[in-house]
Amino acid sequence: MKLIFLTLLVIIGITDSRSEQYVVVGPADPVIALAGEDVILPCSVKPNISVVDMRVEWFRSDLIDSVVHLYEDHDDRNTNQSQSYRGRTKLNHEELQRGDASLKLSSAQVSDEGRYKCLIQSKSWSGNATVDVSVEAVGSPPVITVDGFDQSGGLLLQCESEGWYPEPVLEWLNSEGVRLSSETTETHRNEDGFSVKHTVTVYERDSKIHCRIKLKHHMLETMIIATSNMFNLWTTSVILISLAVVLSVNAGILIAVFTKNNRKFDQRLQNQKMIILQEVTHLRTHTVNVILDADTAHPHLFVSLDRKQFLHITHTSSSYILHLTLSVQQLFLKRSLSFSLSLSLISLSYFSEL
């Protein structure tokens, strides 16, 4: 009886000593994942033993009910897997024989960032390791545009990019690598990540200006050469603006003078019109009836029966040619038109003097 008891104690002790020497090991540093790419979350048993017959569970320790992947009874059991991880996780079953329970996570997302637990259990022991995952999303290549000039002729450059995560650092560098201070900075976040926009003023001609946007492990950079021609644009712009101002002032003066003279001319023309109307009215109110005397008329004049009209007849080659037929009233109107014509000529003479 004592022998059986001692044998059991030895067996239990051996089992306990073996269980104490197995350790689940994870990475010492956070795992950096690039959004859209695959990443491996390391986890293994040391010393190497097969975990094919064990239970391997991956879950998020910073979230509630977040099963990432479950392996049990020699197969993957992902019925209760979190929706955001469906179809994106995989354990290498061949590597399980060597104690490697690392998880492959496909198409990393920003939402994958967090703390993970790798739990390995057998009937006699269990162990776990923590894996911290950081996700970085590299945005679009920086774009540098010329945004004009400041009052002293400095060249304003603007650099912008979008789609970054986490919030990136944007910096300006000259050709010697010296950092330049940004004049204005804008940062916005949306569902696609962070967008940044910075502006800097450059006074150095023919210099290389770099716009660099970086994360902890990734960086993008764009360069522009601030040529003398860019600065010459400012000088040309100042000259053109000054010329435009001078022309605008002169045009304003000419318009004012023309408007003033035009008003004077309109007033004088109105006065002439009034005089003509008054004269016509006067002539119309002072018309008289004229009766022609046929006895005293010229032989070549034929007086009508009502003695108000006459014909001037010329005898040429045995034929009579009618030269003129005028009534007394027509003669009177001719006189009025002659007077109106003289006033119009006076007005035209006044306009030519202006």
Please state the rounded mean pLDDT for residues 80-86: 95
182, 209 Cβ separation under 8 angstroms: no
Please state the rounded mean pLDDT for residues 10-26: 61
With a cut of 90, say whether residue 310 has pLDDT above it: no
With a cut of 90, say whether residue 121 has pLDDT above it: yes
Identify the weakest region by mean pLDDT among 32-36, 194-198, 286-290: 286-290
Amino acid at 105: L
- The pTM score is 0.57
Q: Sign of the C-alpha dihedral, residues 40, 44, 49, 54?
A: negative
With a cut of 80, say whether residue 344 has pLDDT above it: no
Q: pLDDT tens for residues 238-290?
A: 455 556 666 676 677 778 777 777 777 778 888 887 888 877 777 677 666 66
50, 99 Cβ separation under 8 angstroms: yes
Please state the rounded mean pLDDT for residues 185-208: 88
121, 19 Cβ separation under 8 angstroms: no
Identify the weakest region by mean pLDDT among 79-93, 154-168, 192-206, 236-250: 236-250
With a cut of 90, say whether residue 143 has pLDDT above it: yes
DSSP 228-267: HHHHHHHHHHHHHHHHHHHHHHHHHHHHHHHHHHHHHHHH
The helix or strand, by DSSP H or E, that contains position 60, with its residue range, turns out to be strand 55-60
Strands 31-34 and 126-136: parallel
Secondary structure E strands in 273-335: 301-303, 309-316, 319-327
Identify the weakest region by mean pLDDT among 14-18, 90-94, 134-138, 208-212: 14-18
187, 167 Cβ separation under 8 angstroms: yes
The helix or strand, by DSSP H or E, that contains position 94, with its residue range, turns out to be helix 93-96
Query: What is the predicted pLDDT for the residue at 16?
Result: 43
Q: How many Cβ atoms from other residues are within 10 Å of residue 64's Cβ?
A: 6
Q: What is the DSSP code (8-state) at residue 84? A: G
Query: What is the predicted pLDDT for the residue at 229?
Result: 56
335, 283 Cβ separation under 8 angstroms: yes
Identify the weakest region by mean pLDDT among 74-88, 131-145, 237-251, 327-341: 327-341
Please state the rounded mean pLDDT for residues 298-319: 64
Please state the rounded mean pLDDT for residues 312-341: 46
Beta bridge partners of 199: 158, 184
Rounded CA separation 354/352 (Å): 5
Tell me the Cα Rg of the chain. Answer: 53
With a cut of 80, say whether residue 70 has pLDDT above it: yes
Q: What percent of the chain has pLDDT over 90?
A: 47
With a cut of 50, say whether residue 27 has pLDDT above it: yes
Q: What percent of the chain has pLDDT over 70?
A: 72
